[in-house]
Structure 1
Amino acid sequence: MDIYKNNQPDENFAPLASLEDWDNDVLKRYPDPSTINEDKKEADFRDYDGTEKDGVKEFYRINHKYQTYDYVMQKKQEYLSFDKKEMPIWDAFDFLNQLVDDSDPDTDLDQMQHLLQTSEAIRNDGHPDWMVLVGLIHDMGKVLCLFGQPQWAVVGDTFPVGCAFSDKIVYPEFFEDNPDRYDPVYSTEMGVYKRNCGLDNVHMSWGHDEYVYHMMKDYLPEPGLYMLRYHSFYSQHRENAYNHLMSDHDHEMFKWVNLFNPYDLYSKNPNQKSWAELKPYYEALVAKYLPPTLKF
């Protein structure tokens, strides 16, 4: 039985003022180590009730209620056929820029500028050019919002479905409303998986990470694909909550995820070079790795 068509919240309901609210929430939970006050206890950074906006809390309530194993499988079937649109990546960035919220007083940067801040920080530190490209495209999956997906199915911390939800996931109490919480299989530690089966055999909650990974899996080296697929999997790369599902190979690859994560969270350069200055480099980089058009 498909419980989702009748029970999902209105897709136009948006508890976040903009998608950037989720990014800002992650920064509150996992601040740049260089800015942490040594007198503040680590546990204080997970005091959600003391720091979160009502919109963020409501976002996670909805996310945790509806991100079920069946929902994920349904959305993979619907969106991973990549039959919604075909366009050059530069048109995709223009498309993505439609997500800018003109009412947000805290930023006048479009999505492209945010991605460039990440990619330029990676490039300035001398990392491989494919990692620079990962920085440029890591949030491109947010175009899902423009294909009709609600916020809670586009951004948010990601986590495995089909097994017990970890109490290390943000707002774990909201999983009480998720039907998988009471399923005799999905509610167990291993669920539908085998111990240390490897994350490639695990279904993650649906969102922009999983979407862009599948879009790029034929074009980038494996470390870059791990960065794309798991950059929002905070309960693992910050809390080590799912070691029982990870293989030795996953642990090796997560060294790359951990390398990428600070660039994703902390690369905010107000003196970013203009697109006119950066364009020749990025056009050549994209042409090196990606086809002229991408399917969305």
Structure 2
Amino acid sequence: AALVHDIGKLLLLEREEPENVTCMNAPIGEYSRGAGLDNCVLQWNHDEFAYSRLNGNVPDHIAWLIRYHSIDVDRCEPLMDERDREYATRYLRPFQKYDQGSKSAFRLPTKTLTDYRELIETLFPKPILY
């Protein structure tokens, strides 16, 4: 998930407005408690775009993490069903510490894309349609 969760940010290269790409996604409308995030409409952003391209090519929990990695977990928790709660506890909360809490303009990556190319080609043998 770490390698591909932000693939939707490629939309910025296509001149999509940043406010449509890099924003947090939040529920739109009113839903009953425990409705399940998949049954709610959330603000569209790079998460949903990446999910639309990777769903079916990764395990369910990875697809879920890609789709919801920019939510405010505490705000969305009342809407979560059992699956959402399990995935949020097991995957999303730990992931968000690294995703949202580790960015720095001063620490540059020590790895290049070529360092991961073999892994990416093994995990995604078919092209991902953009």
What's the TM-score bracket when you normalise by the shorter of the two chains?
0.7 to 0.9
| Number of residue-to-residue matches in the alignment | 127
Matched, 1:158 2:25: yes
Q: CA deviation at 1:198?
A: 0.9
Q: Residue deviations 1:201-228, cap 9 Å, x none?
A: 1121111011001111111122222221
Q: Does 1:289 align with 2:123?
A: yes
1:267, 1:147 → 2: CA distance?
Answer: 23
1:149/1:195 Cα in 2 relative to 1: closer, same or farther (>3 Å)? same
Residue 249 (structure 1) aligns with: 83
| 1:204 correspondence with 2:35 | no
Question: TM-score, normalized by length of structure 1?
Answer: 0.39
In the other structure, the counterpart of 1:137 is: 4
Aligned equivalent of 1:258: 93
CA deviation after TM superposition for structure 1 residue 267, in Å: 5.3
**Within 1, Cα distance between the matches of 2:125 and 2:46?**
20
The 1:279–1:145 alpha-carbon spacing in structure 2 relative to 1, beyond 3 Å, is: closer
Segments of structure 1 that go 5 or more residues without pairing to the other structure are 1-133, 164-188
- Cα deviation per residue 1:82-105 (whole Å; 9 max; x = unaligned)? xxxxxxxxxxxxxxxxxxxxxxxx
Distance in 2 (alpha carbons) for counterparts of 1:196 and 1:232: 19
Q: Distance between the aligned counterparts of 1:215 and 1:199, measured in 2?
A: 19
Residues 140 and 195 (structure 1), Cα distance of their counterparts in 2 relative to 1, 3 Å cut: same
What is the CA distance between 1:257 and its match in structure 2? 0.6
Unmatched runs of 5 consecutive residues or more in structure 2: none
Contact 2:24 2:45 in 1 (8 A): no
Question: Given residue 51 of structure 2, which amino acid in structure 1 is its aligned partner?
Answer: Y
Asked if 1:147 corresponds to 2:2, the answer is no
Q: What root-mean-square deviation, in Å, do the aligned CA atoms of Structure 1 and Structure 2 show?
A: 2.1
Deviation of the 1:292 alpha carbon? 3.6
Question: Cα distance 1:143–1:241, how it changes in 2: closer, same or farther (>3 A)?
Answer: same
Shift of 1:274: 4.3
Deviation at 1:195, TM superposition (A): 3.4
Determine helix, strand or coil for the equivalent of 2:77.
coil
Question: Identity rate of aligned residues, in percent?
Answer: 28
2:65 counterpart of 1:195: no
Distance 1:267 1:145 in 2: 18
Give the distance between the partners of 2:98 and 2:117, measured in 1 at CA: 21
Which residue, 270, 274, 279 being the options, matches 2:107? 270
CA deviations 1:214-255 (Å, max 9, x no partner) are 111111122222221111112xx2xx2233321011100102
Q: Is the 8 A contact 1:226 1:257 kept in 2?
A: no
Pair 1:227-2:59 in alignment: no
Q: TM-score, normalised by structure 2?
A: 0.83
Alignment of 1:36-51 (within 5 A): none
Bigger Cα Rg: 1
- Distance 1:273-1:149 versus aligned 2 partners, 3 A rule: closer
Structure 1 residues 271 and 222 mapped into 2: Cα distance closer, same or farther (>3 Å)?
A: same
Return the alpha-carbon distance in structure 2 between the equivalents of residues 288 and 231 of structure 1.
24
CA-CA distance at 1:279 after TM superposition:
2.5
